[in-house]
Amino acid sequence: MPIVVQKYGGTSVDCRDKVMQVAARVAQLRQEGNDVVVVVSAQGGTTDSLLSEARTITPEPAQRELDMLVTAGERISMSLLAIALNSLGCRAVSFTGSQVGIITDTRHTDARILEVRPHRLVSELEKGTVVVVGGFQGVSTEKEVTTLGRGGSDTTAVVLAAALNAERCEILTDVNGVHTADPRIVKGAGLIEEIRYDDMAELARFGATVLKEEAIRFAEREGIALAVGSSTDTTPGTIVLEKPRTPERPVVGLSLLREASLVEVGAAGSSGAAEALASYGPAVRFVAGRSEATVAAVELDGLPGARPVSLICVVGPEAGSGETLAAVVGTASEAGCPVSAISSSARAVAVALPRRWGEPLVQDLHARFFSDRS
Ligand code: ADP
Ligand code: ASP
Ligand code: MG
């Protein structure tokens, strides 16, 4: 039987009615003759409120305990969904990440997956049971519960799809696919039917939370086409794949990372700059400037001495061209928005700007690049 992995995000399971709706959709998929694995996130807002609660006790709670705490969120939604499925007569069992053999390194709150040992999951599928898995979590080589970084349920879904050689991996959420910009910021944003892994990863890196960058990179390495769509209807959404089959637009989409900082890292090529960059590690989004005045744009907030900024990224086959760069800078200048750093690569351009300009400039740039849609 074909194996289908579906992932439902937090807002898709945040009340009883939505859990029942998801259960009905999953039961139907099972009835159509598929083996089904469902990955669920914590109910919307739960992870944030658990983290805030811990921080009312101490500003820096132990990372290990934070992992123990937030994984409770996914446990609630996975068990509720399994209860709902069984109540509909569709046999289901819920498992934690640890129970389905997601083995990670020991980095609490942002662990990397090292291996998947899905024996228990496979034997349940063989019995015809739907398996519901708590997303965003695993167990470390030291046998501790770990989590995979915010938005990590996407990673769980992709990694399980690869381990099970699934026929489909569907990321189902509160929008009906990936759009040319966040539809909550740009009303006229249009659905992108097919998008390259690279472009999608770049959008995700610069704030498009609809997919987690790590999940996209993993899907790319494993050659898994990701379908992104609505959790409440079955109309086709977006496919993330190696190469779109239809001609791409010169600019495919844009994204906004609201909370970032611009930090001075010293002279390019100096050991001081290298050290500074290494200390920001995976938070670095781009490095810009010349010789003495190199700056790094990092996805961190509240750094002492740093300038708070937002970052906007534009991607597509022509996004790295001089014309696109000129259009981005020109649009900002027409609006009166100061741009404090720019970086461009083959298929992308990114700029840093004062935070209050983030949303208005995304809207203006969308109008400029998608005048037929804004
Ligand atoms: P989930 O809880 O299902 O994982 P997320 O909140 O992580 O959902 O991701 C869905 C959200 O991503 C949407 O509600 C939307 O506001 C945001 N988003 C940002 N950029 C885009 C984009 N380009 N296309 C679609 N959604 C986007
Ligand atoms: N619940 C986790 C979070 O809020 C994981 C996820 O939603 O994917 O980040
Ligand atoms: Mg998400």
pTM for this prediction: 0.95
Residue nearest to atom 3 of ligand 1 (CA): 9
List strands edge to edge, sheet with 168-173.
92-95, 130-134, 35-40, 3-8, 168-173, 226-230, 238-241, 194-196
CB of 207 within 6 A of ligand 2: the answer is no
Q: What is the pLDDT of residues 34-79, one digit of tens each?
A: 999 999 999 999 999 999 999 999 999 999 999 999 999 999 999 9
Residue nearest to atom 4 of ligand 1 (CA): 9
> What pLDDT, on a 0 to 100 scale, did the predictor assign at position 267?
80
Residues linked to residue 238 through DSSP beta bridges, in sequence order: 228
Residue nearest to atom 10 of ligand 1 (CA): 210
> What pLDDT, on a 0 to 100 scale, did the predictor assign at position 374?
52
Query: Who's near 221: CB < 8 A, 6+ residues apart?
Result: none
List strands edge to edge, sheet with 294-298.
284-288, 294-298, 253-266, 307-315, 348-353, 341-345
Residue nearest to atom 8 of ligand 2 (CA): 151
Tell me the CA–centroid distance for residue 181 and ligand 2, in Å.
21
> What pLDDT, on a 0 to 100 scale, did the predictor assign at position 95?
98
Q: Any residues with Cβ below 6 Å from ligand 1, and which? A: 9-12, 41, 151, 173-175, 178-179, 181-184, 203, 208-210, 253, 255
Tell me the CA–centroid distance for residue 372 and ligand 2, in Å.
35
Q: Quick one: which ligand is closest to 12's CA?
A: 1
Q: Quick one: which ligand is closest to 153's CA?
A: 2
Tell me the CA–centroid distance for residue 92 and ligand 1, in Å.
28
Please name the residue that has the structure tokens 């995000």: 9
Mutation probe of ligand 1 site: the residue of 38, 175, 238, 365 with most atoms within 8 A of C-beta: 175
Residues linked to residue 313 through DSSP beta bridges, in sequence order: 255, 350
CB of 41 within 6 A of ligand 2: the answer is yes
How much is the mean pLDDT over the chain?
96
Tell me the CA–centroid distance for residue 47 and ligand 2, in Å.
7
What is each CA distance from 264 to 101, 311, 342, in whole angstroms?
A: 43, 16, 14
**Among the atoms of ligand 2, which is closest to the Cα of residue 74?**
1
Joined together, the tokens standing for residue 195 give: 């998008």
Joined together, the tokens standing for residue 1 give: 């039987």
Residue nearest to atom 25 of ligand 1 (CA): 178
Q: What is the pLDDT of residues 170-194, one digit of tens each?
A: 999 999 999 999 999 999 999 999 9
Q: Show the low-confidence residues of the chain (pLDDT under 50).
A: none
Q: Where are the domains of the chain?
A: 3-174, 253-373
Tell me the CA–centroid distance for residue 182 and ligand 1, in Å.
7
Fold held by 3-174: Carbamate kinase (3.40.1160)
- The superfamily in CATH containing domain 253-373 is VC0802-like (3.30.2130.10)
Please name the residue that has the structure tokens 């390495």: 221
Residues linked to residue 6 through DSSP beta bridges, in sequence order: 38, 170
For residue 192, the number of C-alpha atoms closer than 13 Å in the C-beta half-sphere is 30
CB of 151 within 6 A of ligand 2: the answer is yes
